[in-house]
A and B are shown apart, each in its own frame.
Chain A
Amino acid sequence: MSGFVALVARDLRLVWRRPGDVAVVLAFFVVATTLFPLGIGPEANVLARIAAGVLWCAALFAALLSLDRLFAADFEDGTLDLLLLAPWPLELAALAKCCAHWIVTGLPLAVLAPLLGVAFGLEPAVLLALSATLLVGTPTLSLIGGLAAALTLGARKSGALLALLALPLCVPTLIFGAGAVEALATGGDFRAHIAVLAALALVALATTPWAIAAALRQAGE
């Protein structure tokens, strides 16, 4: 467990040294979201109707954008070998990396999204709901994206490939994340959606660390 904490702490410290990397991702999220009203038109009811979907899609893209370097940096400077050689399960290391990624992307996205939601004319209750869905849903994105990042380690054109691998697997989270917000707005069952989102996160938690570890081991060969 101490190794897990140490790895999360190390990755957070590395991000702290280069806050620009995170800032770029968050800026992308803001800019990408802003483009939708410009492309679609400023009618308030249309924007409020699509807000949840737009914010969720933009969050998904932003999360993927930042995943490219998740394992690549460790792979290039040789620290991946040290992780592979650490005397504790590699699955935990995989989880720690995804956990650190979530803290520096998923968490800020969940905080930022309601602010952008205001621009789409969402009600305060809906803004809170949006934030809640992102809090519960983004860990799944970090885990699935982490798997895609591990699988594409050392591949040609890894960035686009990563998105191709991760996006179809993220569809359920997208559907229930955006669906939850819409359910609240239209009087549906918000809690059921959140419960499914949490279940999806648990499935990802139960399956991806093993797959990531397997992918990292074969990248080390």
Chain B
Amino acid sequence: MADLHFLANPARFRRFSQRVVPSLSVATALMLAVGLYLALLQSPPDYQQGDTVRIMFVHVPSAWLAMAGYALLAGLGASLLIWRHPLAALMARAAAPVGAGFCAVCLLTGSLWGRPMWGAYWVWDARLTSMLLLFFLYLGHIALSRAYDEPDRGDRAAAILALIGVINLPIIKFSVDWWNTLHQPASVARLGGPSIHPSILVPLLWMAATLFLLFVLLVLLRTDTEIDRRRLENAEQQA
């Protein structure tokens, strides 16, 4: 968040992103290549889950990033409402679909994993259900920020929503866990067990770092686009 103060000015952000994006793209691509090797070839299949365990290398980091992404939206929302940083609004606009994308990837990979493990594409597992609700929160944020003719109003409404959403996320998570234990016995195999062998942990963390870089890269690129779009709209209005 400290970086945001430095980057509050769109022009300065533009210079920063233009310097960072090329090297970040190369780094992400290289890390992804290594990560895929680690995840698909180097790591052993799970004695219980077989090769399906490899889905975890995408699924788990996506879940982390989806949650971190919503926290980022809340942080950006606070910085827009309190300090009126113009860039915060644009970055939130850019980040919300990326976060929603990771959330969707998490849900899709979860259901692909669920088919062989649970025998069904969708099981009302507590974690999957919480993720689904997080996805809905993302959808609400995206829809609200784009629901106004004046983009400023959408930005600020979405910022308020993100702040209330982030307060409610733990409550939603807690109640879904409660609901789940109330309604069904513990699953045969839960997503991501408590003890993970290093041969799986290393590729998992590596992929997490890779996808984190991808997340940052996408947000930077999309923020750049949003800056252009907003300038264009302003120019059109004044013409």
Taking beta carbons and an 8 Å cutoff, which residues of A are in contact with B? Answer: 147, 151-152, 154-158, 161, 164-165, 167-169, 171-172, 175-176, 179, 182, 188, 196, 200, 203, 207-208, 211, 214-215, 218-219, 221
Number of residue pairs across A and B with beta carbons under 8 Å?
84
Q: Please state if B144 and A218 are interface contacts (CB–CB under 8 Å).
A: no
Stretch of B96-104, B175-183, B229-237 at the chain-chain interface: B175-183
Q: Please state if A215 and B157 are interface contacts (CB–CB under 8 Å).
A: yes
A179's partner among B156, B171, B179 (CB-CB below 8 A) is: B179
Interface of A is mostly: helix
Q: Is B8 an interface residue (CB 8 A)?
A: no
A155 to B161, CA, bound (A): 14
Stretch of B29-37, B135-143, B184-192 at the chain-chain interface: B135-143
Stretch of B9-17, B44-52, B147-155, B211-219 at the chain-chain interface: B147-155
Q: Please state if A168 and B133 are interface contacts (CB–CB under 8 Å).
A: yes
Q: Please state if B144 and A151 are interface contacts (CB–CB under 8 Å).
A: yes
Q: Please state if A175 and B140 are interface contacts (CB–CB under 8 Å).
A: no
Q: Is B201 an interface residue (CB 8 A)?
A: no
Closest 5 CB pairs of A and B: A172-B175, A155-B147, A168-B136, A165-B140, A175-B179
B168's partner among A169, A179, A196 (CB-CB below 8 A) is: A169
CB-defined contacts of A208 to chain B, threshold 8 Å? 164
A211's partner among B139, B143, B164 (CB-CB below 8 A) is: B164
Q: Please state if A218 and B156 are interface contacts (CB–CB under 8 Å).
A: yes
Q: Is B105 an interface residue (CB 8 A)?
A: no
Q: Is B24 an interface residue (CB 8 A)?
A: no
